[in-house]
Amino acid sequence: MPSNSQVAVVLTQCWHKVPGGTAGSILDLVKSVASRNEVDLIGIGPRGGEPAQEWTPPIPVIRASLPLPFLYDAWHTLRRPSFLRATGPVDVVHVTAPVVPPTRGTPMVATVHDLFPVTHPELLTARGARLLRRGLEIIRDEAKVVMVPTQSVAFDCRDFGIDDNRLRVVPWGSTPVAPTLPEIADAQQRLGIAGPYVLFVGTLEPRKNLSRLVAAMDQLKRQELSLVIVGPDGWGDGTTQGANVVTTGHLPASELPPLMAGAAAFCFPSLAEGFGLPVLEAMAAGAPVITSAGTACAEVAGDAALLVDPTDIDSIADALVEVLDNPDRAEQLRIAGRARAATFTWSAAADAALAAYAEAQT
């Protein structure tokens, strides 16, 4: 790779109302790549405003000439404006979500987190599905290298027409954490959590399947047990009404490990994910994890979690009982989860991204 390669990274999702796990994973990847000093990175953001501190990119950012959401519409329908006037020539453009600026012949590396606009459009808003599908079509037609976080997404990409020789599976990483007992107790006290609890972390939207998780918890009829739901409001039916439900809203990522470590179980029965970063983070923190069979979450968890049918309330409830009533099984899952999470590193993801940038220039 040329020693002074310039890579422009599209980071507009950091300015979204709910940046979500895709923004978090990309920021961690960018931070890891930047630490190598092997390429010069510059971010691309929208006009106007600043992202919340948690979502501030760790690299310099050039602003496009339009604000969100007009920028996305212009990029996908008019294929303008170009950001290259602001950045000057670059060697590679890294598109990190299905919102694709005109690259004017500059080699494109794309990260595709999932194919939900194609495979599950009903789980998105109509506008979101339409906009993001168009972005995926541009990626399919123009990207030289496409990075995906799991084999599950790779299979969907192949079905969508992205040929195999452009696909690279690049799993996200985790950071080993070991919250102390005082840290765990402090986190619970600050949020008013008393007694044992099952934890869910994610945006409140239909895809996360919260209504079935709440129903499974109600089915257990355990007054001493709380369901703690952490995450911002998304859209649609993100039902959280049920007995002993505690909702916290969004919490900074730094506050999650003690909550995860102190949970009697971490339950993430999502209907569809491209990766399922909360599953990996919960395992890294030492929580016994329950998640969905037949999804990318199962691929990430391997044999270090209990897998359930996310459409079956009884299946979710039975898994909760297995963990809650069997301390040895819970401890086995805690140990296995930590070991599994340790195999996912941001250093390996950075290696793969740098290799993709080099490949795109050949």
What is the side-by-side order of every strand in the sheet holding 245-249? Answer: 245-249, 226-230, 197-201, 265-268, 289-292, 306-308
Tell me, what's the pLDDT at 236? 67
Amino acid at 76: H
**CA within 13 Å, CB half, 265:** 29
Tell me, what's the pLDDT at 1? 43
Strands 306-308 and 289-292: parallel
Would the CA dihedral through 279, 350, 52, 45 be positive or negative?
A: negative
Q: Which two tokens stand for residue 159?
A: 């079905």
Tell me, what's the pLDDT at 2? 47
Task: Give the pTM.
Answer: 0.94
Tell me, what's the pLDDT at 240? 66
- Alpha-carbon separation of residue 63 from 82, 201, 345 (angstroms): 11, 31, 30
Per-residue pLDDT of the chain (362 residues; tens, 9 = 90+): 445 899 999 999 999 998 988 999 999 999 999 999 999 999 999 999 999 999 999 999 999 999 999 999 999 999 999 998 889 999 999 999 999 999 999 999 999 999 999 999 988 889 999 999 999 999 999 999 999 999 999 999 999 999 999 999 999 999 889 999 999 999 999 999 999 999 999 999 889 999 999 999 999 999 999 999 999 987 765 556 766 899 999 999 999 999 999 999 999 999 999 999 999 999 999 999 999 999 999 999 999 999 999 999 999 999 999 999 999 999 999 999 999 999 999 999 999 999 999 999 99
CATH of domain 6-173+345-360: 3.40.50.2000
Q: Where in the chain is the domain with CATH 3.40.50.2000?
A: 6-173+345-360, 181-341
The top-level CATH class assigned to 181-341 is alpha beta
Determine the angle formed by the axes of helices 346-360 and 20-34, rounding to 10 degrees.
Answer: 80
Tell me, what's the pLDDT at 85? 85
